Structure 1
Amino acid sequence: MIESLQAFAASFPEPLQWLAVALVSAIPLVESYFGAVIGVVLGLPVAVGIAVAVLGNVVSMLLFVNSAHAVRSKVRAGKEEPEQRKHEKLHRAFDKFGIAGVSLIGQTMLPSQITSAALVSFGANKQKVIFWQIISIILWGTIFGLLASAGIPLLTR
């Protein structure tokens, strides 16, 4: 899949390859980390590859968060919060790790878009979810982008 996305990005004219990296980074499971790798492998400057991958992932995550928030608001309108929680296991993870912990480590298991939408749908503060998801997206994109930039000379020799 990554090779196909890299070929897609490479098919763009060089001045627009940054846009292709942003587009593929908006895809759940590709995100900022694989998007940054694709950008670096295409030859974009490391900072540009990371920045556009982060931007694409953030825009996508914001669409998911705001959609989940809107749906939850409509469903919850006029209803009181139930005493019993339906998804007790997920709520225990919230209680244990909080929004920051789930946002930072959640990308190892689920895409940021899915994690952020789930957090908001379960009643987490939308602004806090957005804040911590952006931190996480920047962190993961930077780590993978820097690893890719360090690894490329090893692959080309």
Structure 2
Amino acid sequence: MLEALSDFTAGLPAWAQWLGIMLISAIPFVESYFGAVIGILVGLHPAVAIVAAIIGNAISMFAFVFAADVARKKVVEGRETAKEPSPRRERLKRMFDRFGVPGVSLLGQTLLPSQITSGAMVSFGASRNAVLLWQCISIVVWGVAFGLLALGGAELLSLR
């Protein structure tokens, strides 16, 4: 899949490759970290690749948070009944109870995409604004970290 996304981005005109990185970074499990890597490997300037990946991931995450917020309000108002949580959701809830919004935001991306963890935290009752803030911090941290790793690796292997 990452090869296909890389081919998609590389196939775009040079002036539009940053838009391709934004698009692919909005995909759960690709996010800012793989988006930044792909952008760097296709030849975008590292700063452009990392910023485009962060923006694409953040836009997608915002959509998930606002959707989860609306769904939670409907559930709280009694319009819907809650389903039995999945084992993954239960694990995320335990992590949320233990580490709070900052911990789940920063560490949660090792388990699930930011879109899913952010939506889940809002559905657990976390403040929408706190989730947005900490998820943005997490997206930036992961995007910059993986972008710098990709840059170092590409230069080490002379791929750039």
TM-score by length of 1: 0.91
Q: 1:149 aligns with which of 148, 151, 154?
A: 151
Deviation at 1:148, TM superposition (A): 0.6
CA distance in structure 2 between the partners assigned to 1:142 and 1:26 by the alignment: 16
In 1, Cα distance between equivalents of 2:8 and 2:90? 42
1:107 aligns with 2:97: no
Where does structure 2 lack aligned partners over 5 or more consecutive residues?
A: 80-85
Q: Residue 154 of structure 1: CA displacement?
A: 2.1
Match of 1:22 in 2: 22
| Counterpart mapping for 1:81-120 below 5 A | 90-120=92-122
Q: What is the CA deviation profile of residues 62-86 of structure 1, one whole-angstrom value per residue up to 9, with x for unaligned ones?
A: 000000100111121269xxxxxx9
- The corresponding residue for 2:73 is 73
- Alignment correspondent of 2:3: 3
1:39 equivalent to 2:39? Answer yes
Q: Residue type of the partner of 1:70?
A: V
Instruction: Write the letter of the residue equivalent to 1:39.
Output: G
Query: For residues 41 and 90 of structure 1, do their structure 2 counterparts lie closer, same or farther at Cα, with a shift above 3 Å needed?
Result: closer
Given residue 145 of structure 1, which amino acid in structure 2 is its aligned partner? G
Q: Please, which runs of 5 or more residues in structure 1 have no aligned partner?
A: 80-85
- Shift, 1:88, TM fit: 6.3
Provide the aligned length of Structure 1 versus Structure 2: 152
Amino acid at match of 2:46: V
TM-score, normalised to structure 2's length?
0.89
Residues 100-132 of structure 1, C-alpha deviations (whole Å, 9 max, x = no match): 000000000100000000000111110000000
